[in-house]
Every structure is written in C-alpha cells, then in structure tokens.
Amino acid sequence: MALEAQSAAIVAQFDYTDEQVNSAVNEFRRQMTEGLEKDGTSLSQIPTYVTGVPNGTEKGLYMAVDLGGTNFRVCSIQLNGDTTFNLTFSKVAIPRKLMVAKTAQELFAFLAKQIELFLQTHHEDHFEQHVRRRMTMSSPDGYKDEHVFRLGFTFSFPVQQVGINKGTLIRWTKGFDIPDAIGKDVCALLQNEIDKLHLPVKVAALVNDTVGTLMARSYSSPGKTGTVLGAIFGTGTNGAYVEKLSNLKKPLSGEYDKTTGEMVINTEWGSFDNQLSVLPNTAWDVALDKASPNPGIQMYEKRVSGMFLGEILRLVIIDLLKDPKVSFFKDENSSSNDWKSTTNIVSDSSIYTQWGVDTAIMSVAAADNTPELSTLRGELEKQLDICSAGLDDAQAFKAIANAIGRRSARLSAVAIAAIVLQTGKLTDSANADEPIDIGVDGSLVEHYPYFRDMIYEALRTIDGIGEEGAKRIRIGIAKDGSGVGAALIALVAAGMEERLTTADYLGELRSNAKSNNLTVVPEDGETAAQD
Ligand code: BGC
C-alpha cells in the first residue's frame, strides 16, 4: 500500500495541467518572436535559406546522409516526380568514442568512409566509372561535374546557417561532444574528407532533420496549402516551420529567393525556455540536467525526447529503491510476491548506470494491459536484470513511466500549438476547410503508444485551438524525411548552381507546376494552391 501511495505522489509531480499548457503556449510564442528578432535567444529560430516547399513533381537521383542521433545513414533517392520516390539506404551505429572524439576530423573521416562503402555497394557502376575516369585524367579534379552526385547533408544539431550548403555548428546535443567542431562549417568538414577519398560527391545542401521532414511531407502528401510544420520527436526534439519573411527581423547574410515571401525556420525548440519560466522542474529533472554534458541548455528537449525520458524514469526508480518507507522491487519472502518468488536486481543491472534505461521500455509499459503485466515483467528481467518483479512493483513502474510519457506528449502539444497559432491558418477564412498539415518523425511519436492521442487531448484544451481547431490539425508520420527531404533540398541547390538565380529556379518550378495545375510556392501575396 505504501508503494501505491508513494507512486501516486510521484505521478502527481509529473502532472502538467491544462492551465500550465496554456501559459507555456503563450511563452513559446513570445520566445518565437524574440528569436525572429535577434540572435542568442533561447529559441534560436534559425533561417534555413529554404524559401518554398515542394509539390511532388520534383525529379532526379540524389544522395543524402543523415547524422543526428545514434546512427549514420547514407541513402540515394530517386525522386519520381509523381509524389513517389525510391530510397536505398545503409545504416551504421556511430561508435560512442567518435561521438566524443578529440577532433571533428575523426568523426567526419568515418562518415566519408561510409559514403564510399555505400557507393561501392549500391552504385557500383557509377563508382567504377568514376574510378576509371579519374585514373585516365591528368588532373584528378578534371572529371566532369555532371558525374558528381549532389548530396543533401542532414545534420541534426543547432547550426548557424549562412547559405544553402554552409553553416557553423553552434553546439552539440544528444550526447555528442567534440569541442573542436564548434564554430566550424560542417559541410566543409565533410567535403574535405570526401575529397580525400576522391569520391564523386558534392555536399550541395545542409539540412536539419526537421526541415527534411517538412520537405518530405510536402512532397509526398501535397495539399492545397502545403505542410506547415515538420517536427521530430525521437532521440531529440525540434521543429521547422514556414514563416513569413516580414516577421523575420534579424539580418540574413546569405543569398535567398525573396519572391516567395516565406522562409523555413529551424526553431531549435529543444532549447525552449532554458530559463525555466514555464517548464516543469521536478527534482529528477534537476538531477538529470546536472549530470548531463550540457547543463542549463536543451531544457525542453530534456523533458520531451527519447534520449532523456528513460533517464528521468531511472532516477525516479533509484530514489524509490533507496526509500526505506517503501518496498519496491524487494520482497520480504516469496509469500509477498504474486509469482511466489523473490525479486532480485542483479548487481550490475544497467538501472544503476547513467542512461542505463532505454526509453523503449516505457513503450512496453504503456502497451502492456495484461492482468499480470507479464510482458513488462519479462522486459524488466531482459533489459534491466530485474528478476521476478512482483505485480505491485510492475504497476508502480508502469504508472510512473506513463506519467513521464504523458507529460512529454503534453509538452509536445505546446510547441505544435504555438506554431499552428503563429501561422494564422486557423483564422484564415480563405482556407477554412483545409487541414493544417504537420509531418512528424521519430521513435517516440512512432512507437510510444497513444503519443499522438495525448497530444490531441492537450491541443483541444488550448485557447485559440479548442475542439474545432484540433480537428483541423492533421499530424501524420513522414518517414525517412531526413533522406528524402535532404534530396529535395539538394535538388533546389543543384538548380541554384546551374547559374539560375533561386528566383528563376523557383519561377521555373512554378511554371512546371502550373502546367500540371499545381503551385509549388506561393507568389507574393498569393496562397499556395495545390490539389
Ligand atoms: C537538435 C536538433 C534536431 C533534433 C532532432 C536536437 O537535439 O538540436 O537540431 O533537429 O535534435 O533530431
């Protein structure tokens, strides 16, 4: 009974009420505006130099690589021009020692090597031809540009972007920490290593995964008004949305097309409210932050995303294990355990190690509705070496895990709501019957049971959205956005390279689209009309 009461008290600490959600939305909007006006703010609001979203008619073969979490992916994407594409990819786990390497060069050399392996495996003809050409050329740089793959580089960390394929790293997140890379142009770092291997690849575009998700969703599910937000709820969290250029007050240094009147903004919302004016802050949030490689930053991400939820849960569990008033994962004797055994936690269980609880076990807990919670109890044994846990222990574990997951979903609703309200689409009578389309990706939103339902539940309680507004918001999974989206941006960049100005290039896209009865990007004062 003591355990039940204690776990209920803990659960209550993770409540995030409707009122708190509403005041966080207001604060989010305030911080959005602040970030559009100046640099160095909590929400970075990074201009991406991408000034339109695709409409599904784009075509061509491109490459994309994706660095941003636990894995590095290399892909080639054939855009078929009819909203479909074909994707080939390889994936490799990033060795932990490279995430904290001494020099950026070590990490980027590894990435270039993976690109070489991918080309050898999946584009052998192209690769062999290239090697032959190179061997017969007097100058190694003499081969023709058209044989070179354009590559979109999805780099999912905060970057100060100064052009479509140029940007310097602001800070690492998600467990990466290579101080040497801060302030360096990450495209140049990758291109250098690619060139050392003499690969036929040009880094044409620098893309955040959220921007890729936005582009991919727009390509594959075009609607009358286009997708407004691409968001990731995975290892990390972030969102990119389409903003009016007139709201972007801080100076922009690079070239971009002004005719669309819009630009995609990478919010870097992981650092929303680093000052903690509206974010919840339990003792476990404080402990997690203190022991993290980046205390005081990514405070929203540390309460929302997959990398951190398991760790919050672990810290709560450790406190409960130490609490003399409760009997948690321990039995006086086998009679107090419904499986008539005694619980044992193996001494080197990963529950005792920082990051030792994978957030995936929270999905198991949320999904297990069996009377004895036997699936969860099986996973406790398999993943955490907690053997023969009793039903009451598993119930407490589940209740606490669910509370942490629910708080994450409600916080996620805050960012989504603030951006939907910012776009003004809910009050735009011209498109009153159109859905407000949002593309999402990431392990949490994809695999955590009822994550989207909990987001919708919170959205309905938000002023300015309500029941009716929530019905219009369509949150759909955009899988592999970082690959396809990066390819789409590489395509835009390739168009820019062909000595077309961006304006001409987008003008061409528009006229192609018009001949297909579609509009790719709104012209000044015009709303995108697609079917
Ligand atoms: C990074 C973002 C990224 C997000 C999702 C965050 O930690 O700062 O750039 O978009 O993770 O991958």
- Please check whether residue 45 is in contact with residue 299, taking contact to mean a CB–CB distance below 8 angstroms: no
- Please check whether residue 171 is in contact with residue 118, taking contact to mean a CB–CB distance below 8 angstroms: no
- Please compute, for residue 226, the number of CA atoms within 13 A of its CA located in the half-sphere on the CB side: 26
Alpha-carbon distance 39 to 36, whole Å?
A: 8
Mean pLDDT score, 98-127: 92
Which DSSP letter does residue 80 get?
E
Separation of CA 53 and ligand 1 centre (Å)? 20
Alpha-carbon distance 445 to 229, whole Å?
A: 15
Average pLDDT value for the chain = 88
pLDDT at 220: 81
pLDDT at 344: 84
Q: For helices 374-384 and 391-423, what crossing angle results, to 10°? A: 90
Confidence of residue 24 (pLDDT cuts 50, 70, 90): very high
Residue with structure tokens 């015009």? 526
Helices (H), ranges, 100-248:
104-122, 124-136, 186-196, 209-220
Confidence of residue 480 (pLDDT cuts 50, 70, 90): confident
pLDDT at 473: 96
Which DSSP letter does residue 426 get?
G
Mean pLDDT score, 39-65: 89
pLDDT at 506: 40
Residue 430 pLDDT > 90: no
Separation of CA 482 and ligand 1 centre (Å)? 12
Alpha-carbon distance 279 to 21, whole Å?
A: 9
pLDDT at 339: 74
Separation of CA 134 and ligand 1 centre (Å)? 38
Alpha-carbon distance 206 to 499, whole Å?
A: 19
Mean pLDDT score, 331-350: 81
Residue with structure tokens 């290039």? 505
149 vs 54, more confident: 149
Q: pTM surpassing 0.85? A: yes
Contacts of 383 (CB under 8 A, 6+ apart): 350, 357, 358, 361
pLDDT at 514: 42
Which active-site residues does the annotation give? 156, 171, 209
Structure tokens at 5: 């009461």
Residue 210 pLDDT > 60: yes
Cα 68 to its chain centre, rounded Å, is 8
- How many CB atoms are located within 10 Å of the residue 525 CB? 6
Pairing of strands 227-233, 386-387: unpaired
Pocket lined around ligand 1, Cβ cut-off 6 Å:
68, 156-158, 173-174, 208-210, 232, 234, 236-238, 268, 270, 301
Mutate to test the pocket of ligand 1, among 99, 169, 171, 209 (most ligand atoms within 8 A of CB): 209
pLDDT at 142: 46
Mutate to test the pocket of ligand 1, among 42, 153, 170, 174 (most ligand atoms within 8 A of CB): 174
Lowest mean pLDDT among 46-55, 87-96, 109-118, 216-225: 216-225
Cα 516 to its chain centre, rounded Å, is 33
pLDDT at 429: 83
Mean pLDDT score, 131-146: 55
pLDDT digits (tens, 9 = 90+) for 263-322: 999 999 999 999 999 999 999 999 999 999 899 999 999 999 999 999 999 999 999 999
Residue 115 pLDDT > 90: yes
Residue 249 pLDDT > 90: yes
Residue whose Cα lies nearest atom 11 of ligand 1: it is 236
pLDDT digits (tens, 9 = 90+) for 4-21: 999 999 999 999 999 999
Lowest mean pLDDT among 225-234, 375-384, 498-507, 521-530: 521-530
